[in-house]
Amino acid sequence: MEELKELFDIHFEKYPMMRPEDCIKLLYQEEFGPSHAVRNRDEALKSILQEVAVSREGDSELFTAAGRWFVRIDLHKALEVYTPEDVADWFVRSAGSWNGSMAEYLKKLKWFDANLDLFPTSFTADEWKEQLSYHRGEAYSNVHHSKLYNSLYHPHYRLIRKGIWEF
């Protein structure tokens, strides 16, 4: 699980105010990628264009690691270099390329729970336990970024599988 420690080290350095749900989201993305997302290119393109039109650019880099298999590509930065059609295509192809494993995801949640003290979190162990319990009650479904994360970091990205887009 050394890769997870490195991943969280990167994310806590870039996003020091991550909340429990942001950590869960990162673990979810690391295991499942965008497999829960849209698989139709036209819908993906429409969604990307709408999101960019109503969002403001954050201070993200073009991409941020999201685990062994995926990167988060910042939409605003990507559209400075690539066409929206390319980004939509990569996103849809990424969603169809990986399913992940619930058993592996649960192992990762347990690992993070057991190693919470390794990270400079902005939340308490009790807040983590509460969010984890809520996540379990929601059958471990995909979660959204916290309101705090959204307001501080303005995340507007798509998960792209490494190898589909080369950086």
pLDDT (0 to 100) of residue 13: 96
> Domain range spanning residue 155?
2-161
Provide the domain count of the chain. Answer: 1
pLDDT (0 to 100) of residue 148: 97
Say yes or no to pLDDT of 37 above 80.
Answer: no
In a domain, 120, yes or no: yes
pLDDT (0 to 100) of residue 156: 92
Say yes or no to pLDDT of 166 above 80.
Answer: no
pLDDT (0 to 100) of residue 48: 93
Say yes or no to pLDDT of 106 above 70.
Answer: yes
For residue 136, what pLDDT band results from cuts at 50, 70 and 90? very high
In a domain, 167, yes or no: no
pLDDT (0 to 100) of residue 36: 65
In a domain, 103, yes or no: yes
pLDDT (0 to 100) of residue 71: 94
Distance CA 144, CA 26 (A): 10
In a domain, 166, yes or no: no
Say yes or no to pLDDT of 98 above 80.
Answer: no
- The pTM (predicted TM-score) of the whole model is 0.92
CA distances for 31 relative to 20, 35, 70, 79, 103, angstroms: 17, 10, 9, 26, 10
Distance CA 91, CA 158 (A): 7
In a domain, 147, yes or no: yes
pLDDT (0 to 100) of residue 167: 61
